[in-house]
Amino acid sequence: MEKEVLVEVKDLRISATSDEGVEIPIVKGVDFNIHKGEVVALIGESGSGKTTISLASLAYTKPGLHFAGGEVKLRGDDLLSMDPLKQRSIRGAKVAYLAQSAAATFNPALTIGEQVTESAVLHGILDQEAATKRAEELYEALELPDPQLIGNRYPHQVSGGQLQRLMAAMALCGKPDLMVLDEPTTALDVTTQIEVLKAFKKVIHEENSAAIYVTHDLAVVAQIADHIVVLYSGEVMEQGPADQIINRPQHAYTKRLMEAVRPKPIAGLGTDVGAEHNRDTDNLEVREVTAGYGGNVNGEPKIPILKDINVSVKNGHVVGVIGESGCGKSTLARVMAGMLPAARGDIILDGEKLEGSLQDRKLSELQKVQFVFQMADTALNPKQLIGNIIGRPLEFYHGLKGKEKHAKVSEILEMVELPPEFASRYPMELSGGQKQRINLARSLAATPEVLLCDEVTSALDSIVGANVIKLLTNLRDKTGVSFVFISHDLSTVASFADEIVVLYAGRVVEQGPTDEVLVPPFHPYTRLLISSVPEMRIGWLEDTMQKREMAVGISRGVEMTSVGCPFYNRCPMAMDGTCNTTIPPILKLNDGHEISCHLTLDQLNEVEADTRRTLDAAEA
């Protein structure tokens, strides 16, 4: 039986007005319906107009935009043509909004409780007392700590993941018919994302509320949506039930989006390296490095970030470094590049020990190890032409001038698949993906031996990011450069790296060839990471929550420890008296695969079998 239609979006058009007064269409005639209790996902990349469309259901446009036509009907009443006062009475009461960054959308000067209940009380839905009570119930449903007290706190006094859930409470307090969720988990770490996603799904279900879920992440969509609308440049490409769009996409663009989603990180993804580059000698080696910030006291950094790190990068290999934010991945790359001198330990390049700091390194050593920054936006000087940005290393390291330099710049632009005309442009005139290519090109211009890539795809849209990875693979095959590839995204790392290093709280917990790291036995943290990567499969969220490591792992934060195993407080197998007091030994397995854990190989294997059984039981 067809459910009652709640929202009807018909031929919606939204335009911007440029400085010259020219109207630029942003949303170009979009139609879709939302039924009661249904979650509709709007997916698309940046510039697709998904957020703009979602805000239309609150009769709102961002400053600079305006409605140019069409209607958005809520229970038959058109919101766009309504009197402003009536529009206001809809916002927060009938339709509620959840923004991407809760940290920015909570007012820092007011208590959480006041903000959560504000809209319900203002619209006369509940009185203050009832609203506070309802808020407490919601806190409980969202599994927030201290439901009675958390309302008295200020936004800066709770964690990011909690704030994200509190925003859901804020939206739900007035019992809205429709919730608009705008990329609510994008800014979160994978393990936090699961926790928030789970909470959202639960309350949406319990409240029987309809929702618009805006995201670029197909795997997330698969977990939460009933109906999917695929957008590109303000137009609907394809829409239909979630199951059909995900399993049987029709439109070529949707298929392209699907391709860009990295497959689940499993063994066999790591590519074999071309034999001519594979000299199996260490190119760059990190030995017993401890590093941090704030200066050193007795050889120990004041704010320690990395502890006793051993990593080696073989000639022509790609070493992927993975871990959650704050685990020290970027710091490791900075230590390698000499931007942060290590407090202890050595960096060895081609068998020669490198000085810790930039000033003491030789020019030829600097040239051989190049760092690629995460954000191309800030890594490229906005006041320099692309030609000068790429030309500078050529001039600086190789003494190229004039015509010769110019020709080489064109050659390098070609290498990163950009036209040579780009040399006379400024970074501002390029798109995000193009800028990231220039960023890479500058490092390539130095003709390095090792390229340190720090989260080079995280700020990019999925298709653009996938193209950059493709480019990197080509470059590796063509040039034989070794890569250190840093990312928080395990799937990306798995598809590109020959070896994987798993960092947790500044220590290497597991490392080895990709194919070894991604099959059991796992370090408990690696397992948590693997289980947290959303799969593009309906029902994955429920499955993964069955796993034992999830219960302990996702709701706790990272703690730096100086004794014992840093993962102790999140580990389902933690042994009191051992794990929290003694530094774990290194378990050496096949092919240089190493796991740093107190459990024996047999114990680790047993845990694996246990998980298998739980999952099978859940399925049956």
Partner 1 sequence: MMMRMVLQRLGIGIATLFVVSVIVFVITSILPGDVADIILGQSATPETLAALRAELGMDQPWYIRYFSWLGNLASGDLGISKAGGASISSLIDSRIWNTLIMAGMVSLISIPISIVLGLWAAMHPGTRLDRIVTFGTLSTISVPEFFIATIMVLIFAVKLKWLPATLYLTGNENWSELLKAMAMPMITLVIVVSAQMIRMTRAGILNVMSSPYIEMAILKGVPRKRIILRHALYNAIGPIVNVIALNLAYLVSGVVIVETIFSYPGLAKLMIDGVQTRDLPLVQACAMIFCAVYVILILLADIASILSNPRLRHPK
Partner 2 sequence: MSEVIKNEDEILAKLDAFAELPDAPPKRKLKLSWVGKLASLVVIFWLVIVAIGPSISPHHEMDMDGDDSFMVAHDNEYGSFYLGTDHLGRDTLSRVLYGARNTIGIALLATLLAYSMGITLGILAAVKGGWIDMIISRINDAILALPSIMLGLIVIAALGSSVPILIGLAGVIYATSVFRIARALAQDIMVQDFVEAAHARGERIWWIIKSEVLPNAIMPLATDFGLRLVFVVLFISSLSFLGLGIQPPASDWGSMVRENLAGLSGGIDLDGNTVTSYAAIWPALAIASFTIAINLIVDDISAKSGGSLAKKMI
Contact residues for partner 2, defined by CB under 8 A: 19, 47, 60, 63-64, 84-85, 87-88, 232-233, 235-240, 244-245, 250-253, 256, 337-339, 358, 361, 363, 366-367, 370-371, 373, 375, 377-384, 392-393, 396-397, 417-418, 426, 428-435, 442, 446, 463-464
Q: How near is the Cβ of 293 to partner 2 at its closest, in Å?
A: 14
DSSP 272: P
Q: How near is the Cβ of 82 to partner 2 at its closest, in Å?
A: 11
Question: Backbone phi, then psi, for 54, in 5-degree steps?
Answer: -65, -35
Residue 517 binding result from partner 2, partner 1, none, given CB thresholds of 5 to 8 Å by partner type: none
For residue 201, what are its two tokens? 């799904």
Residue 509 binding result from partner 1, partner 2, none, given CB thresholds of 5 to 8 Å by partner type: none
Which is nearer to partner 2, 244 or 578 (by Cβ)? 244
Residue 371 binding result from partner 1, partner 2, none, given CB thresholds of 5 to 8 Å by partner type: partner 2
Which is nearer to partner 2, 311 or 468 (by Cβ)? 468
DSSP 561: -
Q: How near is the Cβ of 460 to partner 1 at its closest, in Å?
A: 23
Contact 321, 488 (CB under 8 A): no
Other C-beta atoms lying within 10 Å of the C-beta of residue 149? 11
Question: Backbone phi, then psi, for 340, in 5-degree steps?
Answer: -130, 105
Q: Which residues of 401-432 are buried (b: 16+ CB within 10 A; e: fewer)?
A: eeeebbebbbebbebbebeeebbeeebeebeb
Residue 66 binding result from partner 2, partner 1, none, given CB thresholds of 5 to 8 Å by partner type: none
Residue 525 binding result from partner 1, partner 2, none, given CB thresholds of 5 to 8 Å by partner type: none
**Rounded Cα gap, residues 340 and 335, in angstroms:** 5
Strands 235-241 and 227-232: antiparallel
| Site residues, partner 1 (CB under 8 A) | 55, 58, 60, 88-93, 96-97, 99, 101, 104-110, 118-119, 122-123, 153-154, 156-157, 170
Which is nearer to partner 2, 14 or 446 (by Cβ)? 446
Q: How near is the Cβ of 86 to partner 1 at its closest, in Å?
A: 10
Which is nearer to partner 1, 159 or 614 (by Cβ)? 159
Q: How near is the Cβ of 402 to partner 2 at its closest, in Å?
A: 18
For residue 266, what are its two tokens? 């499993």
Residue 352 buriedness (CB in 10 A; 0-12 / 13-18 / 19+)? exposed
Helices (H) and strands (E) in the chain, counts: 23, 22
Contact 338, 357 (CB under 8 A): yes
Residue 287 binding result from partner 1, partner 2, none, given CB thresholds of 5 to 8 Å by partner type: none
Which is nearer to partner 2, 154 or 426 (by Cβ)? 426
Residue 272 buriedness (CB in 10 A; 0-12 / 13-18 / 19+)? exposed
Residue 107 binding result from partner 1, partner 2, none, given CB thresholds of 5 to 8 Å by partner type: partner 1
Interior CA angle at 507 toward 504 and 510, to 5°? 75
For residue 231, what are its two tokens? 């957008």
Contact 441, 468 (CB under 8 A): no
Which is nearer to partner 2, 112 or 379 (by Cβ)? 379
Residue 17 binding result from partner 1, partner 2, none, given CB thresholds of 5 to 8 Å by partner type: none
Contact 292, 465 (CB under 8 A): no
Q: How near is the Cβ of 60 to partner 1 at its closest, in Å?
A: 6
Strands 39-43 and 95-98: unpaired
Which is nearer to partner 2, 363 or 609 (by Cβ)? 363
**Rounded Cα gap, residues 292 and 334, in angstroms:** 11
Which is nearer to partner 2, 379 or 533 (by Cβ)? 379
Q: How near is the Cβ of 404 to partner 1 at its closest, in Å?
A: 49
Amino acid at 278: N
Residue 4 binding result from partner 2, partner 1, none, given CB thresholds of 5 to 8 Å by partner type: none
Which is nearer to partner 2, 59 or 203 (by Cβ)? 59
Q: How near is the Cβ of 480 to partner 1 at its closest, in Å?
A: 47
DSSP 38: -
* Helix H or strand E segment including 479: helix 462-479
Q: How near is the Cβ of 161 to partner 1 at its closest, in Å?
A: 16
Q: How near is the Cβ of 373 to partner 2 at its closest, in Å?
A: 5
Residue 373 binding result from partner 2, partner 1, none, given CB thresholds of 5 to 8 Å by partner type: partner 2
